[in-house]
Structure 1
């Protein structure tokens, strides 16, 4: 006696749900790429990998769509239908990604991440650090801090302030009021992103001078000043004596990246 065959169903529910999830992630990554928002989450040098990832998802989507149209047995249908709840986290992630507006790291997180600013006495290990821009900075009358050299500039000024005392400097950043600082002291800070924003660190330098106390944390300023040596928390530290400043809008790409 031949065993009775189970009826076949022409619609694969599990494959259909997986197709929707894959399509959602492709649209999300494509949207972030087209709107130039990927740099708000990862280092730009990794953007090409993200672009490749959503391109690789396309053939996976095609396979899932084909699988959706293939007939499935009753047992397969029951198994896939009973596991629909396991896809909930993926839909939740997609919902939050599209519903929550993009935000950048702000001054509120500086204290929790730890400001890489004031430095202690130079140690032997610091002296042995590579300093690719030191010869260039030493020849400049005015050090222009840019997105490209920001990390190196902050390390040079904070670790070797005696070598740059008296030099002029121009830079931009957001205000962060230093705990325990005087009324005319503040820090100008930017986030340095190594791989992604999760591992970002705030780098900055102490500033002193005109009207700094009237700007709340998170205010973006463009300043000109002179590098000087000061005593902070009982130790020698670098500071910029501000000679002029201008309030500016936050840049479209607020993060900077390691020089190397």
Structure 2
């Protein structure tokens, strides 16, 4: 029953177009097929167990023989049906901090949109920045990115900055890696953690907490709803 509930939940997420909260889009069809096959196999297994028990002792299935832990597992899985799916929270950024990319040779170039896209992801910008060892190469370069706000990690910097961040996945939410860029804060508006924004501005290298960091200055900020697929995909 637990297996059927798990497979059914995956199909429910697929029907509501919520699988993007957990897995890479290229695995959605695979997850649907496996869930359908899984339900069929579990039902066959249940029927075979009923027949086996009846042939051995002539008795039918007795609920009193089911372990308490099995009931608890089914209750927990059932509760999952009622809870709305959620993405990884901004508070997970510190625990999932990604190391800087270290290249054997410096490679400095402005990232370009991928095919069939008009935007450049945070992932591509951050990779380009980390790959370039030339100081101030990206100064005054225009940048437009989409992501959510994270203030907590910048408390030691004062109240002049916040992070615009996004999780990048290659398979599913479990292997997610946060990618983020510092934004100059506009004092007229204070966005809480988790707020989704489109940020347009210019990059400028500044020393923050004794370390050179690229900051988006002169930001033009637009508040948006959470995207249908909140995670960026590795390599895009």
TM category, shorter: 0.7 to 0.9
Give 1:244's match in structure 2, choosing from 212, 220, 229: 220
More helix by share: 1
Residue of structure 2 equivalent to 1:31: 12
CA distance in 2, matches of 1:218, 1:192: 16
Residue of structure 2 equivalent to 1:56: 37
Q: Contact conserved, 1:193 with 1:201, CA < 8 A, in 2?
A: yes
State whether structure 2 residue 150 is matched by structure 1 residue 176.
yes
Residues 8-40 of structure 1: CA deviation (Å, up to 9, x unaligned): xxxxxxxxxxxx445433322211111111111
Q: Give 1:231 deviation, angstroms.
A: 0.6
Give 1:162's match in structure 2, choosing from 133, 136, 143: 136
Q: Contact conserved, 1:150 with 1:259, CA < 8 A, in 2?
A: no
Give 2:190's match in structure 1, choosing from 202, 210, 214: 214
State whether structure 2 residue 82 is matched by structure 1 residue 106.
no
CA distance in 1, matches of 2:191, 2:203: 21
TM-score calculated relative to the size of structure 2: 0.78
CA distance in 1, matches of 2:189, 2:160: 6
How many correspondences in the alignment? 226
1:111 partner SS: coil
CA distance in 2, matches of 1:169, 1:30: 39
Structure 1 gaps, min length 5: 1-19, 120-124
TM-score calculated relative to the size of structure 1: 0.72
Residue of structure 2 equivalent to 1:201: 177
Residue of structure 2 equivalent to 1:137: 111
State whether structure 2 residue 125 is matched by structure 1 residue 153.
yes
Moved more, 229-238 or 67-76: 67-76
Q: Residues 79 and 23 from structure 1, CA distance in 2 versus in 1: closer, same or farther, beyond 3 angstroms?
A: closer
Q: Residues 77 and 229 from structure 1, CA distance in 2 versus in 1: closer, same or farther, beyond 3 angstroms?
A: same
Residues 167-200 of structure 1: CA deviation (Å, up to 9, x unaligned): 1011111111213113221111111123322232
Q: Which has the larger radius of gyration?
A: 1
Q: Contact conserved, 2:144 with 2:199, CA < 8 A, in 1?
A: yes
2:192 partner SS: coil
2:23 partner SS: coil
1:72 partner SS: helix
Q: Contact conserved, 1:184 with 1:212, CA < 8 A, in 2?
A: no
Q: Give 1:159 deviation, angstroms.
A: 4.7
Give 2:71's match in structure 1, choosing from 60, 82, 88: 88
Q: Give 1:136 deviation, angstroms.
A: 5.8
Structure 2 gaps, min length 5: none
Residue of structure 2 equivalent to 1:227: 203
